[in-house]
Structure 1
Amino acid sequence: MTSRVPRRLYLTIVAGALIMSVAMGIRQSFGLVLGPGAVEWGLSLSTLALAIALHNLVWGLAQPVAGAMADRYGATPVVLVGAIALAAGLALTALLPGLWAAMLGTGVLVGIGLSCTTFGTVLTAVGRAASPERRTAMMGLASAIGSIGSATVVPLSQFMIEADGVATAVTNLAMAMLVAAPLAFAFLATDREATQAPATLTRQLSLGEALKEAAGHRGYILLTLGFFTCGFQLAFFAVHFPSYLVTCHLPVSVGAAALAVYGASNTFGSWFCGQLGTWYRPQYVLAWIYIVRGLAIVALVFLPKTELVALGFAGVLGLLGLGTVPLTSGLIARIFGTGNLGMLFGLCFLNHQIGSFMGAWAGGWLFERTGSFDPIWLATAAAGGIAALLHFPIRDEPVARPALA
């Protein structure tokens, strides 16, 4: 029996990582779609940026629901439905270009699809399959393998855009999501165990009780507030960094290369941050991630804008990017257990996505009015300092609950 547990765990990790590779690779490609997509579809830059920002907000709003459904019914059906929604949103935007297609497709359906096919659902399945002492590290490993999507799907998207146009590229991405969807059946064994409510020494909380417990926990509130900064920084980078480099008189190809470097760096960074979470208290690791991110952003603003600086910054941000996800979800599991992990991480992730909405939308809005990205770069750096101050006081002791009769 002991020999089969690791095999199931690693099967869950590989399947989940491949699903996240496609979904997150698609999400990271929107920075390349933004400029040529606005031209090909006859939309203003700020309008398409708003649609992309909207899917970040919808992603956040849908994540607690997707997480709660995965807690109740398992990750498999949630991922399958989400893959269909994500593919439908991409196809709608590509095949029926226009304002409302962009808002409904890219804004709403893609947001719902991402909530079901990425961290909140997939990492919850991985966390349940792993033992408590290995949970953060295994979540980090899944995130690391999943980051390969940014390193492969992004340059592939750039190639398809240049070869056949934005509509064909986006349609092909929709088909790739449908091809990856059946991998979700690898979660069935973990789903069955998680939804059978096994007997434990402590009572399993209902949804309402779990919400009340989390709302009264100071550390969870601080963690949720700090997660805003992660979304704000990374969404602004993913959506606007290619356009920012063009304003710095660098070739368009540098933007695609920077996103690919970011994705490749995420592979190591996610794994390493997961390991750090087993060696040190996750809240302290998170605090230092936000501090170093802020310093890197300040350096970018004031250094000469060269290809080396652009790629170096993307690499540093990648090392410190998605590593926050296994640390945050692992910290929630350490405090509250895994019974309602999907829903509790989803609520925390909602604030992350509010930050993503602000980063994606405000970047385009401010640039159109000021002609510069520097003010929002400095705002993201300042947000990193605030997030660090929020994380240092978090206490990570497991909550005490009444024992079963």
Structure 2
Amino acid sequence: MHLNSNKSVSPLTVLWCGAFIMTISLGIRHSFGLFLQPVSLSNEWGREIFAFSIAMQNLVWGVAQPFVGRMADRLGSAITMILGGVLYALGLFLMSTVDSPGMLTLSAGILIGLGLSGTTFPVVFGAVSRAMPPEKRSMAMGISMALGSLGQFAFLPGGLFLINELGWSSALTVLSCIAVVILALAWPLVEKKAKTVLLDETPCSAECPNTASHHETLPTPAEKEMGMWASLAQAMQHKAFIMLSVGYFVCGFQILFISVHLPSYLQDSGIPASAGSNALALIGLFNILGSYLAGLWGGQFRKPMLLSGIYGLRGLLIAAFVLLPLTTWSVYLFAACMGVLWLSTVPLTTGTVSAMFGVKNLSMLGGLVFMFHQIGAFVGGWLGGLLFDATGSYQLVWWLCVALSVIAAAVNWPIEEKSAQANEPATQAA
């Protein structure tokens, strides 16, 4: 049996380049909520049209992710990131010229959705996980997620400044130019011709440094033999994987609803527009801390237990936000606390998938579980606009977020981080 081993790119290079790619990709994406009102008012649309395009973006991102992940596993993460960066920049540029709902869905929805699938968590985490020894993977994913969160903090005030100074169309043109930097960051990660190692003929000797880590990094025999469809079938028959996916659906629902609709919700309540931008920026800022802690604690405690805690705390926080009087400072407190809980689910969920299925197909299987996240995002983003246009209020969706938190906390708690059997579905729930 053979394993392709490439030593031309150092693990730290993979970590930093991948992290800054996510800084740009997630930062731009996090600013889309600022464009809801100006784009809708400029084109005399209801909020559902913009909300639907962003919901479609997340659905396309999610549905494409397992296949884009497979491409990254087979052809290399760098090539995948470059193609994703091209589509992302093109989508942003076309979004700056929209004058019809169809063009908005094509640019903001389909093209940017495909671009995100090649420049975010599953592809970057797959590259980082393969570059790092097992004992450092959780921390490395936490660091890359924390740096990705930096973009969510930096791009919000920057995006609002661009909209105020240049208008929404020119602001999107500037963001499309920034997205091109993804190509430059991905280029150093392009692998040179791989060196072939004969695993059956070159076992590690006792003198081999980091022997335990080396053996853990190699794929298991079952992992090496399983193809794409067999791996997908195994995951979909695995009870713990399904439970993990249900929780991730909830995560996507809550995150996109808040990202897209929070600024408008605050303006409807008489809170200044700048507070919405500041709130989303605070979410990004405190997400740095949350992602770092998730990576740190994920290597010390049971990851599904941490996920249950995150979802439960989200439910309590959202309920308090809705019930208590709304002021600028209560918004900022909500944003800071929500930021700690924001994307801290990502390294924990990906780490649990890695523990169950290994790293060889991690970009694909991480993409599969992420697809459920994005289906939830589609429902949350679109339903927020639909119910607002129907009722004139976001209250129903806020309380739906609370109820879903309870479900997510319940389904994650019993999951165990056990390796899946190659030929039979495991029931990992206690």
Q: TM-score, normalised by structure 2?
A: 0.89
Asked if residue 384 in structure 1 is aligned to residue 405 in structure 2, the reply is: yes
Contact map agreement 2:82 2:182 (CA 8 A) in 1:
no
| 1:198 shift after superposition | 6.1
| 1:189 shift after superposition | 4.5
Tell me what 1:68 maps to. Answer: 70
Larger CA deviation: 113-122 vs 92-101: 92-101
Q: Cα 1:338–1:192, aligned 2, differ >3 Å: closer, same or farther?
A: farther
| 1:306 shift after superposition | 0.7
Distance in 2 (alpha carbons) for counterparts of 1:354 and 1:216: 19
- Across the aligned residues of Structure 1 and Structure 2, the Cα RMSD in angstroms comes to 2.0
Distance in 2 (alpha carbons) for counterparts of 1:26 and 1:233: 19
The answer for unaligned runs of 5 or more in structure 1 is: none
| 1:196 shift after superposition | 8.2
| 1:43 shift after superposition | 3.0
Distance in 2 (alpha carbons) for counterparts of 1:23 and 1:400: 35
Asked if residue 295 in structure 1 is aligned to residue 316 in structure 2, the reply is: yes
One of 275, 295, 299 as aligned partner of 1:274: 295
Distance in 2 (alpha carbons) for counterparts of 1:376 and 1:216: 31
Counterpart amino acid of residue 61 in structure 1: V
Distance in 1 (alpha carbons) for counterparts of 2:164 and 2:247: 38
| 1:208 shift after superposition | 2.2
Contact map agreement 2:79 2:190 (CA 8 A) in 1:
no
Asked if residue 187 in structure 1 is aligned to residue 208 in structure 2, the reply is: no
| 1:279 shift after superposition | 1.0
Tell me what 2:350 maps to. Answer: 329
Contact map agreement 1:73 1:191 (CA 8 A) in 2:
no
Tell me what 1:393 maps to. Answer: 414
Query: Is the partner of 2:96 in helix, strand or coil?
Result: helix
Counterpart amino acid of residue 160 in structure 1: L
Query: Is the partner of 1:276 in helix, strand or coil?
Result: helix
One of 320, 325, 331 as aligned partner of 1:310: 331
Counterpart amino acid of residue 169 in structure 2: A
Distance in 2 (alpha carbons) for counterparts of 1:208 and 1:121: 18
Contact map agreement 2:81 2:186 (CA 8 A) in 1:
yes
Distance in 2 (alpha carbons) for counterparts of 1:197 and 1:26: 43
Tell me what 2:115 maps to. Answer: 113
Contact map agreement 1:125 1:190 (CA 8 A) in 2:
no
Tell me what 1:249 maps to. Answer: 270
Larger CA deviation: 180-189 vs 12-21: 180-189
Distance in 2 (alpha carbons) for counterparts of 1:162 and 1:217: 50
| 1:215 shift after superposition | 2.0
Distance in 2 (alpha carbons) for counterparts of 1:125 and 1:392: 28
Distance in 2 (alpha carbons) for counterparts of 1:37 and 1:15: 33
Residue by residue over 1:225-268, the C-alpha shift from the partner in whole angstroms, topping out at 9 and shown as x without a partner, is 11100000000000000011112210000000001000001111
Contact map agreement 1:25 1:150 (CA 8 A) in 2:
yes
Distance in 2 (alpha carbons) for counterparts of 1:319 and 1:98: 37
| 1:369 shift after superposition | 1.4
Tell me what 1:130 maps to. Answer: 132
Tell me what 2:21 maps to. Answer: 19
Tell me what 2:207 maps to. Answer: none
Distance in 1 (alpha carbons) for counterparts of 2:162 and 2:313: 35
| 1:401 shift after superposition | 4.4
Identity of aligned residues (%): 39
Q: TM-score, normalised by structure 1?
A: 0.94
